[in-house]
């Protein structure tokens, strides 16, 4: 049996997975027949698994996804939305994140843009990468506040550290000159260092007009659209929001 000092030492070293596995081994007679090396390997593997699970939990909590239950496994391909299973399977590997590429999801209200964006974001967290979800109207509001209270640079650094940023509801908010400049700063920080997922009701070919000022629009789209993957969703018979379960989305 483990002594209290040993238990406390393992806890102080934060080897919680190893401690749980060791206690289980002591209660499992079959394990006693394993060699010392085999038992150590099981303990180490359990600790690694425990830490991986803890990290995923922290990443998912920190992502603040709008649809936290969305997952790749539950995407509905039966609805006639133009979804390509092979493309989703390719995106699910996370290679686009490792290459710091972007993803642009467009479609009318009710086509399931946010749900699919959150499913891919959750997959990114499950692969050990950090994610931040923002609705663009709320992000613009926070940027304006950051300018006022002096936290702007700190806020930009926080955004730049995320492996993936989800910008949902792109195109719903009228932008000022400062807003456009802020978006450019965010996207410029992510060139070759992070991925951006944009979900918008507006077709990509209208984004230049939405952004307004030609010079900044060119700069923003150059960083966002080039080297990007695209999903163009069609609206099915009825809004996906009326689906009865996550698995239908």
Domains defined along the chain, listed by start = 4-61 (no CATH), 64-248 (3.40.50.300)
Of 6-10, 25-29, 171-175, 234-238, give the lowest mean pLDDT range. 234-238
| Cβ within 8 Å of residue 54, ≥6 positions away | none
- Tell me what pLDDT residue 247 has: 46
- Tell me what pLDDT residue 31 has: 79
Contact of 102 with 67, CB cutoff 8 Å: no
Residue 1: pLDDT band by 50, 70, 90 thresholds?
A: low
- Return the structure tokens found at 116: 């699919």
* Extended strands (E) in the chain: 102-106, 131-135, 164-170, 195-200, 228-232
Residue 2: pLDDT band by 50, 70, 90 thresholds?
A: low
Reported as a single tens digit per residue, the pLDDT across 131-140 is: 999 999 999 9
Reported as a single tens digit per residue, the pLDDT across 79-88 is: 788 899 999 9
């Amino acid at each position: 049996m483990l002594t209290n000092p040993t238990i406390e030492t393992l806890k102080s070293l934060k080897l919680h997975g190893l401690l749980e596995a060791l206690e289980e081994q002591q209660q499992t007679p079959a394990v006693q027949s394993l060699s010392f090396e085999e038992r150590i390997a099981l303990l180490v593997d359990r600790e690694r698994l425990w830490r991986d699970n803890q990290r995923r939990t922290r990443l998912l909590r920190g992502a603040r996804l709008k649809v936290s239950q969305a997952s790749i496994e539950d995407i509905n391909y039966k609805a006639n939305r133009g979804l390509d299973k092979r493309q989703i399977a390719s995106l699910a590997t996370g290679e686009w994140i490792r290459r710091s590429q972007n993803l642009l999801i467009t479609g009318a209200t009710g086509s399931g843009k946010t749900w699919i964006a959150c499913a891919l974001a959750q997959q990114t967290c499950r692969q050990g990468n950090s994610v931040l979800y923002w609705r663009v109207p709320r992000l613009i509001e926070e940027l304006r506040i950051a300018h006022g209270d002096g936290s702007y640079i700190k806020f930009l650094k926080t955004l730049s550290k995320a492996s993936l940023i989800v910008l949902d509801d792109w195109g719903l908010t009228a932008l000022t000159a400062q807003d456009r400049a802020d978006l450019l700063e965010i996207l410029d920080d992510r060139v070759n260092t992070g991925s951006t997922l944009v979900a918008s009701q507006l077709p990509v070919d209208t984004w230049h007009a939405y952004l307004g000022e030609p010079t900044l629009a060119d700069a923003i789209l150059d960083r966002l659209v080039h080297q990007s993957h695209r999903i163009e969703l069609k609206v099915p018979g009825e809004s996906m929001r009326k689906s009865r379960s996550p698995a239908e989305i």
